[in-house]
């Protein structure tokens, strides 16, 4: 198994900082990296829909001199019973890297265990590390630093909350998650994030009061109330999450210079009002753009000519 990118906590703070620096260089001077993955192929497995992940990975590998192959839910034999292990072994004979969007996190772990090429987690039910690397790049660009900032995530204790806990902890941020009772982040993820935060001067705080969560925050973040795969729970969640909408009144409790982030897709009128997501504090389209730069850095480091550079790669 070559080194996969499954969770931000698999990487040290220094390694993540190196990825952010590389992503920033790639954003400022994309021409310098036109051959970083020359002739390489990224196989892209999608068990769920995607706009950003699919397009940014496919464009990104192209900009690095390689190409991507989109493998949708019914394109390959997984849905007909071919095992994850066999899929990983076969793809490793053709491709130089595998990006996968899955339901069960165990599936992307199994891909990585059986592949002889790097596997990148393009979202699982547990984590969304590529998104949060892009989020951290965005916050660093807007605020000039990460350490010491307070990030308030409002809503479901889901894959986004988990990766924000991981990433925030690695960078000494104060991460607050406010969630309805019964929708807290996973206890093991929180425990690991607390341990990581202890080493960087960060902190983790959970609350069921969104006002307490957002008070004085530098960054306010939310995500949909029903994630992909939870469609049947949507009506119940709509009722349970009322009161956790990020609206102008909630934003006023954050710092006056606070920025608003959302991984997208967004549901205006549910987790966020149009006034906030389309308003002056919102940086969601810079954030979406940064998926491209962050993931190019990941691919160049794991698969490409930048692999040899940087500590412990």
Binding mask 139-178 for ligand NVA (x = CB under 6 A): -------------------xxx------------------
Nearer to ligand CP, 259 or 263 (CB): 263
Phi, psi of 77 (to 5 degrees): -95, 5
Residue 243 token pair: 């009161």
Among positions 251-280, residues that touch ligand NVA (CB under 6 A) are 263
Half-sphere exposure of residue 124: CA atoms within 13 angstroms, side-chain side: 21
We find the least distance from the C-beta atom of residue 229 to ligand NVA, in angstroms, to be 7
One residue of 52, 174, 179, 296 binding ligand CP per CB under 6 A: 52
CA nearest to 126, candidates 196, 186, 47 = 186
Is 224 a residue that touches ligand NVA (CB under 6 A)? yes
How many other C-beta atoms are found inside a 10 Å radius of the C-beta of residue 278? Answer: 12
We find the least distance from the C-beta atom of residue 50 to ligand NVA, in angstroms, to be 8
Give the pairing type, strands 219-222 and 203-207.
unpaired
Among positions 86-125, residues that touch ligand CP (CB under 6 A) are 123
Is 47 a residue that touches ligand NVA (CB under 6 A)? no
Is 109 a residue that touches ligand NVA (CB under 6 A)? no
Is 245 a residue that touches ligand NVA (CB under 6 A)? no
**188-212 core/surface letters (b: 16 or more CB in 10 A; e: else):** ebbebbbebbeebebbbebbbebee
Choose the stretch contacting ligand NVA; rule: CB under 6 A; options: 27-35, 81-89, 110-118, 220-228.
Answer: 220-228
Nearer to ligand NVA, 138 or 158 (CB): 158
> Is residue 286 within 8 Å of residue 183, measured between CB atoms?
no
**C-alpha–C-alpha distance, residues 271 and 252, integer Å:** 16
One residue of 7, 47, 53, 124 binding ligand CP per CB under 6 A: 53
Binding mask 229-268 for ligand CP (x = CB under 6 A): ----------------------------------xxx---
CA nearest to 281, candidates 253, 244, 242, 309 = 253
Let me know how many helices (H) and strands (E) the chain has, helices first: 12, 9
- Binding-site partner at residue 51 among ligand CP, ligand NVA, none, CB < 5 to 8 Å by type: ligand CP
Site size with ligand NVA, rule: CB under 6 A: 10
One residue of 7, 41, 47, 50 binding ligand CP per CB under 6 A: 50
Angle at 43 between CA 41 and CA 45, to 5 degrees: 165
Nearer to ligand NVA, 87 or 159 (CB): 159
We find the least distance from the C-beta atom of residue 29 to ligand NVA, in angstroms, to be 28
Which residues participate in catalysis according to the annotation? 101, 128, 131, 223, 263, 291
Strand order, beta sheet including 259-262:
203-207, 174-178, 150-154, 219-222, 259-262
Is 228 a residue that touches ligand NVA (CB under 6 A)? yes
Strand order, beta sheet including 119-121:
67-71, 41-46, 97-101, 119-121
**C-alpha–C-alpha distance, residues 123 and 101, integer Å:** 5
Packing angle, helices 187-200 and 159-170, rounded to 10: 20
* Residue number of the CB atom closest to ligand NVA: 227
Nearer to ligand CP, 184 or 264 (CB): 264
List contacts with ligand CP (CB under 6 A).
Answer: 50-53, 123, 131, 263-265
């Amino acid at each position: 198994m070559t080194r996969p990118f499954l969770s931000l906590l698999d990487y040290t703070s220094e390694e993540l900082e190196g990825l952010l620096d590389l992503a920033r260089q790639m954003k400022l001077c994309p021409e310098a990296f036109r051959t970083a993955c020359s002739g390489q192929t990224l196989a892209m497995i999608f068990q769920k829909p995607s706009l950003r992940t699919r397009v940014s990975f496919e464009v990104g590998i192209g900009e690095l001199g390689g190409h991507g192959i989109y493998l949708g839910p019914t394109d390959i034999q997984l849905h007909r019973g071919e095992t994850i292990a066999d899929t990983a072994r076969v793809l490793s004979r053709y491709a130089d890297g595998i990006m996968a969007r899955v339901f069960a996190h165990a599936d992307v772990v199994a891909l990585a265990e059986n592949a002889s090429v790097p596997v990148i987690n393009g979202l699982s039910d547990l984590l969304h590390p590529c998104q949060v690397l892009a989020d951290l790049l965005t916050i660093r660009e807007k605020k000039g630093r990460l350490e010491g900032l307070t990030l308030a995530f409002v809503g479901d204790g889901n894959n986004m909350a988990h990766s924000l806990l991981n990433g925030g902890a690695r960078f000494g941020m104060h991460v607050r998650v406010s969630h309805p009772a019964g929708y807290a982040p996973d206890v093991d993820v929180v425990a690991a994030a607390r341990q990581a935060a202890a080493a960087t001067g960060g902190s983790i705080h959970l609350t069921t009061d969104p006002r307490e969560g957002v008070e004085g925050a530098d960054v306010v973040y939310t995500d949909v109330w029903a994630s992909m795969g939870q469609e049947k729970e949507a009506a119940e969640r709509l009722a349970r999450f009322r009161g956790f909408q990020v609206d102008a009144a909630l934003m006023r409790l954050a710092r006056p210079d606070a920025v608003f982030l959302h991984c997208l897709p967004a549901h205006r009128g549910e987790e966020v009002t149009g006034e906030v997501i389309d308003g002056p504090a919102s940086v969601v389209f810079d954030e979406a753009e940064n998926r491209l730069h962050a993931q190019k850095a990941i691919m160049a480091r794991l698969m490409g000519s930048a692999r040899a550079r940087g500590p412990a790669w």
